[in-house]
Amino acid sequence: MAAIQINNVEKSYRSLKALNGISLSIEEGEFFGLLGPNGAGKTTLISIIAGLNRADSGTVTVHGHDVVSDYRQARKLLGVVPQELVFDPFFTVRETLRMQSGYYGLKNNDPWIDEVMHHLDLTNKADANMRALSGGMKRRVLVAQALVHKPPVIVLDEPTAGVDVELRQTLWKFISRLNREGHTVVLTTHYLEEAQALCNRVAMLKAGQVVALDSTSALIKRISGSQLVVQLASGSLPDELKDLISHPEELVLGNKYTLRVNEYKDVEPILAKLRMSGAVIEDMQLQQADLEDVFIQIMEGEK
């Protein structure tokens, strides 16, 4: 049984088609990335999974429980970290987490609350009022609230947006541990290096549709191959090589270019064209493309 099963989900806001026939199956124990530009439909989809919004058509289940007809059980199985900072300013951190436990009917949950606070470096803020916390600390509490009932499925919507490196490292260490213990994790993020490092499989959304779905390694290998990074001491990139540029802004910056290559044998023709144009190479590296390169190509519709 899939942890989350999404079947042909559609959602419109007047004339805007936010989701256009989304179908996805996220397996138990996966660390799954849901990527896309702003407005692609990621947050709308998460809201439907969490029961905060209702699809116009299609179905979503969490461990087999429909999020509409069996919403009580579906929500018990989910822990959602929202993108926005939402908190009650009248309670301390510990009181907030105890109240959240109460919503799920959990009594005597302090040992787990203490463990969650420890792993998110919140222990020394346990008795601090929520309104006195910094933005980064409030985000840690949001994560703790989502985990307080030990949900088998954890959904993180931009959890590290605008937070410091320390929190990012602390959060991923703890979430990765929960994933190793069997929890399913669904992540949306604009930090593509995070997605590449953490996610086993990735779906990319564009204009409310899934435009790519595969394992992270397969996507990188299949879409982008390798890259030849060339820094020129003099001269410029010949016109016939400009279509190979991975990052269009490099044409403006000049002097250093990242060129797509599928195989090692593609390198020599590139070097020959550079020599024929009179360009002098100062430095050169052949490296594997990353998820950001894949993302840019797919969103620009190059492949």
Where residue 264 falls among pLDDT bands split at 50, 70, 90? confident
Whether the pLDDT of residue 263 is over 70: the answer is yes
Output b/e per residue, 177-186; b: 16+ Cβ within 10 A: ebbeeebbbb
pLDDT value at residue 10: 95
Q: Are residues 185 and 76 in the same domain?
A: yes
Whether the pLDDT of residue 291 is over 60: the answer is yes
Where residue 253 falls among pLDDT bands split at 50, 70, 90? confident
Q: Are residues 187 and 156 in the same domain?
A: yes
Q: Are residues 144 and 231 in the same domain?
A: no
201-206 β-sheet, strand order: 78-81, 153-157, 184-188, 31-35, 201-206, 209-215
Q: Are residues 133 and 167 in the same domain?
A: yes
Give me the CATH number covering residue 194: 3.40.50.300
Domain span at residue 71 reads: 4-220
Q: Are residues 53 and 115 in the same domain?
A: yes
pLDDT value at residue 224: 55
Q: What whole-number distance in Å separates Cα of residue 143 and Cα of residue 155?
A: 10
pLDDT value at residue 223: 64
Per the structure, the count of domains in the chain is 2
Q: Are residues 137 and 186 in the same domain?
A: yes
Q: Which residue, of 157, 187, 220, is where some domain finishes?
A: 220
Q: Which residue, of 151, 185, 220, is where some domain finishes?
A: 220
Q: Are residues 9 and 135 in the same domain?
A: yes
The mean per-residue pLDDT over the stretch 113-120 comes to: 93
Give me the CATH number covering residue 279: 3.30.70
Mean pLDDT of the chain: 89
What 3 state SS string does the chain have?
CCCEEEEEEEEEECCEEEEEEEEEEECCCCEEEEECCCCCCHHHHHHHHCCCCCCCEEEEEECCEECCCCHHHHHHCEEEECCCCCCCCCCEHHHHHHHHHHHCCCCCCHHHHHHHHHHCCCHHHCCCEHHHCCHHHHHHHHHHHHHCCCCCEEEEECCCCCCCHHHHHHHHHHHHHHHHCCCEEEEECCCHHHHHHHCCEEEEEECCEEEEEEEHHHHHHHHHCEEEEEEEEECCCCHHHHHHECCCCHHHHCCEEEEEECCHHHHHHHHHHHHHHCCEEEEEEEEECCHHHHHHHHHCCCC
HSE-up of residue 103 (Cα within 13 Å, Cβ side): 15
pTM: 0.81
Q: Which residue, of 167, 202, 220, is where some domain finishes?
A: 220
Q: Are residues 163 and 245 in the same domain?
A: no
Q: Are residues 21 and 146 in the same domain?
A: yes
Could you tell me which of 217, 210, 75 has the C-alpha nearest to residue 146? Answer: 75
Q: Are residues 164 and 290 in the same domain?
A: no
Q: Are residues 107 and 241 in the same domain?
A: no
Task: Judge contact between 96 and 130, C-beta under 8 A.
Answer: yes
Q: Are residues 59 and 203 in the same domain?
A: yes
Least confident of 47-51, 168-172, 220-224, 263-267: 220-224
Determine phi and psi for 70, rounding to 5 degrees.
-130, 50
Q: For residue range 94-103, what is the model confidence (pLDDT) as tens digits?
A: 999 999 999 8
Query: What are the distances in angstroms from CA 141 to CA 188, 234, 247?
Result: 18, 53, 38
